[in-house]
Every structure is written in structure tokens, then in C-alpha cells.
Amino acid sequence: MKTGIDSISFDVAKIHLPIKTLAKARNIEPEKLEKGLGLIKMTLPDIHQDTVVFAANALTKLTQENNLNLNEIARIYVGTESAIDSSKPISSFLIALMEQKFGENTLSECDVVDFTFACIGGVDALQNCLDFVKLNPTKKAIVVTTDFAKYDLNSTGEYTQGAGALAMLITSNPRIIAFDNNWATSTKGVFDFFKPFRTLSKEEITENKNNESWFDNLEAEIEIHKDQPVFDGQYSNQCYMDRTRNAYFSLKKLKNTDETIYNSWESIIMHLPYAFQGRRMLSEIYALDAESKTISGNEDASEYQNKLKGISKSEEYQRFVNEKLMPAELASSLIGNLYTGSIFMGLLSTLAHFYDTKKEISNSKFGFLAYGSGSKSKVFEGTIQPDWKAAITNVNLFETLEESLEIDFPTYEKLHKKEQKQSIQLPKNEWILNRIEKEIPNLLGARYYKWVD
């Protein structure tokens, strides 16, 4: 019996800042970002949007476009690293909103939970739901990934920002892709990228030396949460390479093969914090597992890195990139980083590209190299199913991305600093954040959403 993704929908922020505009404002050569990293646009949430909104929109599209009966959905598992609450999961918000739109108690027996492991949480949710469907072939599950990749102004991550969600129906005998049983994992506990709770003393903020109550805070320290991470870009890249390399060769062991696995993959789908990240990270695996190996792994560090640089610039590797990696990069260039959703947007980008170019890929194998900081990689494979084109006919990925509204740099900075008071685009046929409770004591901070026709 096959299990995998039967249908897929998405929702991304509908406004964007051209990377060229950001580059000029930051005195960066635009070509460095456009041609060096593959960046064209970065999408940004409007003031009525958050990760619940993106997730609810993607899930609503999945439900409507596929005429789903929500009573048949046994679980909705969410991958995110942009939670809006430290206790109440995004998935519980989704239950309430779907019942608000499609009928009370339609999901009252549905299991929900959020998975958090940086950018790989959505893959963890997928693997869990696949295992569930294997044990219960008549059941259906949904995986949702939703995130807002926000970085500090003037930081080295600023130009990789993005926002959006994907929703995927997981079933037996799926129409889009069926996944193999071999999943290889490599894990190590490191601090390459993380979002810690940060503190300031009450005295620093208020000049309150006697620890008097301040907005109901009785502690001497005030805890601060920021969407922006603490990260070390170079170290994170190395962790990405180390984890994916180890997981890739673990997959070879699981498959008990000496063959070059990536040669059997029609396309390679990787986590893309920026569009060209995958091609930069994959050169090591490409060289180590080549049929005629150009590196052995026994070179000294300097020689090893020089060889990798030479390989990554070779015509042979560039052909490999254009054939197997480029289709997944197309949407990333126009959206930015989606954290947990990035690898699945890479899959959708590849499918949409082949659909638009009328390339037949039924029964071909795709390879997936997932990564999440902290850090963990999972490498696995899937086979494209004969009905994949029918399943994505109404997705209209690139057509939708073309409709994104361009904003100017001052508007971008106002949004980033939360100084923008009105929506830039009037919402239509979508969920919005309606209000946040500020008065009722036992509901302070509760977030309420509504559907706007």
C-alpha cells in the first residue's frame, strides 16, 4: 500500500519588497543577492496577518478545492517555529476556525498538535502522519506548515525574509507523491540558530529599584520574546552540510546500496532559506558520492574546501543544478524563506514548473534533503504518481505569485517596526486577525479571527 501527499494548497503573504530595493537601501550590490543567492522578492505579512491566518487560509483552500469532508480528517498536525502562544498550539486555532466556516463539531474528534524543530518541524509532522495512515489506511490526515521568517533590520538574514503556509492531505494511494519507507536521520544538539527567551531587569526598563508591580509583572526580570532569531550564518551553513551529508549516507546504508543515489532522482528538493542555498550545500554530497570521486574526505581542511569550491563552479555541477535543483528554486526566489514550509514549497514549485512546461514525470523518483537548525536532517525519497497533474491543476502557484503587491522601502520599515496601523491591502476571501483581547482579565492576549468575504 502506498502513502503520501494526495493534494496540496498554499497561502503566502500578498505584499512584497523587491530585493533590489532592499539592496540599494542597505548599500549592497543587487547582483550579489539576485545572482549570488537567487533572491528576487521577499514577502511580508500585512498587519491583519499572522501564522494562524496563513495556516487557516491554506487549510481552507485545501478543503474547498478538493471538496474535503472534514469529518473524515483524523488529525491535523502543524509544523511551525513561529508559534503565537507558548501553550495553545496553532492547530487548536485551526480547529476553531474550520468549524466556524464549515460547521460546528466537524472536527471535534480530530487529533491536533504542533511540531517544533526549527525548519524541519513540518517534515516531522509529515512522517508522523504517514506512519498513522500506514496503520490506518482508511484514515486521512492533514499536515500544515506555517511560518513568518523575520530578521532584524540591517542583519545578514534580513534579505531572506518570507511568510506563508502550505496544507497537504495525507492519504493511502495518493495522487501526487508516495513516499518510500526508508527515512535517514542525523541529529546533533547545537546553537546554530535559535529563538531564546530574553530578559531585561525591571530596573533597566522602569527605573523601578524596589521591584514594584509593572503591568502585573511581579518578577524583577521582564521576559521578552522576539520573532527574530539569534544565529551564526556560517556555522549554520556548516551544520546544514554536516547533517544532510550524514543523513544522505545513512540512507545509502538503509538501502544497502553502493550506487550514487542522487543519480536516480529526477529532482532534488531541499530546505531553502534562500533560493540558491541548496546548490551551495549539495556540492559536498555530489562530490563524495560521485561515480568517479573527486574528493575522498581524507584531504586536509584547506585542500578539501578548495576542491569543493572548484567542483561547485564546474560546468558539470552547474548542469546538475539546472537539471535537478533549479525547479525547486523558482518559487523560493519570489517568496523568501518559509522555514517549515520551504521544502514543501520546493516540491510544489517543481511540480508547477513541470506542469507548466508539460514535462511528464509520472513514476519518477524525487529525493528530499530536509534540515532544521538545532540541528537535524532527514533524507528520504518519494515517487511521483500518475495523477499528479490532475491534483495540482487548480493550484496556480506562479500565477498567484505574480499578483503580489510591491511596496516601497519606507512602508517595509514601518511594517517591520509595527508602526503601520492600517492594512496595505484590503483583505478579501480570506481569514484575518480581527482583534486581540486587552481588557477581560482571564482572556488577556486571546486572539480572535474572522473570515472576510
CA–chain centroid gap for 31, Å, is 25
Is this prediction's pTM over 0.95? Answer: yes
Q: Which is more confidently placed, 299 or 338?
A: 338
Query: What does DSSP say about strands 267-270 and 365-372: parallel, antiparallel, or unpaired?
Result: parallel
Residue count of the chain: 453
- Number of Cβ atoms within 10 Å of the Cβ of 290: 17
Please answer whether residues 5 and 176 qualify as being in contact, where contact means their C-beta atoms are separated by less than 8 angstroms: yes
Q: Kindly indicate the confidence band of residue 300, based on its pLDDT and cuts at 50, 70 and 90.
A: confident
C-alpha cell at 381: 525519497
**pLDDT score of 223 more than 80:** yes
pLDDT, tens digit (0-9, with 9 covering 90-100), for 391-449: 999 999 999 999 999 999 999 999 999 999 999 999 999 999 999 999 999 999 999 99
Q: Would you call 271 helix, strand, or coil by DSSP?
A: coil
Q: What's the mean pLDDT in 66-75? A: 97
Mean pLDDT (the chain) is: 96
Domains contained in the chain, CATH given: 3-192+232-282+325-452 (3.40.47.10), 194-224 (no CATH)
Q: Kindly indicate the confidence band of residue 304, based on its pLDDT and cuts at 50, 70 and 90.
A: confident
C-alpha cell at 390: 490532475
